[in-house]
Structure 1
Amino acid sequence: MSQVGEPLDELPLPPYVTAEDVDFAVRAIAVHAPEQWPTGPLCRNDHAPHPCRLHRWGQRVLAQRGLTATEITALVAHYRATAVRR
């Protein structure tokens, strides 16, 4: 069920943002990053117009958790740096 004022095509937010939700959100933002195409920026993962639904969902989850844009950028950069070593 969507929250009041939330567009129907958006993924629903969890009622309470847990540490696991934060991990999933950071991964969604990192994986669904923009890639430049002649038609404009597209999602690197699913080639939907950027930002795609999962990228927007990740941003909304982290914002609901109270993180700033700078903190989100730092978390995604840290995720990318550690994902290379996995």
Structure 2
Amino acid sequence: MPVGEESTDPIDRALGDLPLPVPLTPEDVRIAVRAVVVHAAEEWPAGPRCRNDGLPYPCRLSRWGRRVLETHGLSERQVDALVRHGNPFVRVPFPFVVTGPTRVTRPGPYPARDPAVRTASPARPVARPGGQGRPAAPGVPAPRWPQAS
């Protein structure tokens, strides 16, 4: 909401803005991404409204999500790009730095995984020669599938 502008929503007037979580966790960032994508602006004849709850844009959750993501280190352009992308489950690296995700070391017996290094997936079984798909049980005719028209 622009500075100096009073909200007309009774919930906003009674409760005010949602507080920022301290310290910021990866779960807070995931929820904030979901909040800004789901509570995006939608144009109406009376002006922009929240896509989810129909309140004047920006609603409480949209403002909270933007504040969390900006506290996390994303710029306003990056948050707008998340909204345009439209996927509420997009992954934002934690901790976020401008040059990309950093490698975080974890205490314990297991080494930290580097997301850039991926292991090869196990080989898939090769189809058996002589037929397509699963063989039918002995004595039972193979099912006949309808043909596409």
TM-score above 0.5: yes
Greater helix share, structure number: 1
- Answer whether contact 1:26 1:79 (CA < 8 A) is retained: no
Q: Aligned-pair RMSD on alpha carbons?
A: 2.3
Partner SS, residue 57 of structure 1? helix
Matched with 2:38 is 31
- Cα deviation digits, residues 4-61 of structure 1 (max 9, x gap): xxx9510011011111111000000000011111110000101110010000000000
Unaligned 5+ runs, structure 2? 1-12, 91-149
Matched with 2:138 is none
Are positions 1:65 and 2:53 aligned together?
Answer: no
Matched with 2:48 is 41
1:81 and 1:60 map into 2 onto residues whose CA distance is 16
Normalised by the length of structure 2, the TM-score is 0.46
Unaligned 5+ runs, structure 1? 1-6
The structure, 1 or 2, with the larger RCO (C-alpha pairs under 8 Å, 6+ apart) is 1
Q: Which has the larger radius of gyration?
A: 2
Q: 1:51 aligns with which of 32, 54, 58?
A: 58
1:77 Cα deviation after fit: 4.6
- Answer whether contact 1:33 1:43 (CA < 8 A) is retained: yes
Q: Mark the CA change 1:65 to 1:82 in structure 2 (over 3 Å): closer, same or farther.
A: closer
Are positions 1:80 and 2:55 aligned together?
Answer: no
Matched with 2:29 is 22
Matched length: 77
